[in-house]
Amino acid sequence: MNYSTQMDAAKKGIVTKEIEIVAKKEKMKVEELMELISEGKVVIPANKNHKSLDPEGIGQGLRTKINVNLGISKDCNDVQKEIEKAKIAVKMKSEAIMDLSCYGKTQEFRQELVSISPAMIGTVPMYDAVGFYEKELSNISAKELLNVIERHAKDGVDFMTIHAGINQETAKVFKRNPRLTNIVSRGGALMFAWMNLNNKENPFYEYFDDILDICEKYDVTISLGDALRPGSIADSTDASQIKELMVLGELTKRAWERNVQVMIEGPGHMALNEIQANMLLEKKLCHGAPFYVLGPVVTDIAPGYDHITGAIGGAIAASTGADFLCYVTPAEHLRLPDLEDMKEGIIATKIAAHAADIAKGIKGARDWDNKMSEARQKLDWDTMFDLAIDSEKARIYRADSNPEDEKTCTMCGKMCAIRNTNKVLDNKNINILREDD
């Protein structure tokens, strides 16, 4: 039997190689996974032209996945640095990489990224349009914007952020309801500007069926962009955000009718006490589609530490319904992240995702922690290092401060609770002040 997309295959009862791989990774029965895919509650972003892909699933009942952003800008136009970041992101087991390049001719970079990456690749075509055509935004036609989407699809991109929810009606709601930080989505602001400069409907909304044609042809997952995501905790869960979410829910149903897979993008900046309600709103209004969130960043006062504010929000979001976390780095709001920023962002987000998986009861999530606890009980440092989420850093810290008793650390030395309890249970003297016998 033929199929057009992973969703189409699942509806027809066809077990694709991608479905088979994901089911094995998630310790899930193939039949259960296929039902979730057919209902739109799980997606497997897997462009037919991405030959190096090691597929992953995103959605209900699966491990929380993380995404790493990278890409060139006019001020930081070093392609090889971004390729190096991509290789490190893969080494650190990030499941997805988004190319957010917004300067110059980006196709060569994008194609190299697709060719070398087993991680799924995402892009934001709206960012690429100005450089692609070398035209001012207002002079780019609706057809030209759609052509950029097709170019990215041909290049093998697995998912694309499409800002289709900020239509003329949504824009009116935004204008009637003033915000502290207005529009902070780069793609959302570009589309809002295009609509106002040309006095026309958002082409991604008006020609959504044409976009579905492209996505069905290449099996590109649409990541419906949150153009009106809150950029401050003052703006979260406001009329603009919820109005756009309602439009995204309508577009989701239209995509599913064409067997096109969909994710929904979400906030943003948001106070802790609003996160759980927002996860519920998305799942209700968007019919259980996987939720992809940036952070959420839970306070606005920590530039330089937003990998922490984002990880706090991400852990709560993923434990209460989010399926996919976009990493936040210490450089958020300040600059293009460098390699060290990226590493810190990945680790913080992986911690958030894993903590959420424990809370959600994902199969096997606690096994990792239990193995670490067993190694700690045995004071088996090598195993602890091997199990650590950042083994390199753990080894450096250990080597930097040597204890008198090599089984302990320099925090407690021979007063180590585990050392002493183990000795007592083995009927041995703990010998804190003298050498062991």
Binding-site members are 69, 98, 127, 163, 185-187, 226-229, 265, 269, 292, 333, 409, 412, 416
Binding residues for Zn(2+): 269, 333
Instruction: For residue 62, report the phi and psi dihedrals to the nearest 5 degrees.
Output: -105, 165
Rounded CA separation 170/205 (Å): 11
Yes or no: say if 148 and 163 are a contact pair by the CB < 8 Å rule: no
Which residues, in sequence order, are bridge partners of residue 266? 293
Residue pointed to by tokens 């585990």 = 418
Binding residues for [4Fe-4S] cluster: 409, 412, 416
Yes or no: say if 349 and 315 are a contact pair by the CB < 8 Å rule: no
Binding residues for substrate: 69, 98, 127, 163, 185-187, 226-229, 265, 292
Yes or no: say if 162 and 211 are a contact pair by the CB < 8 Å rule: yes
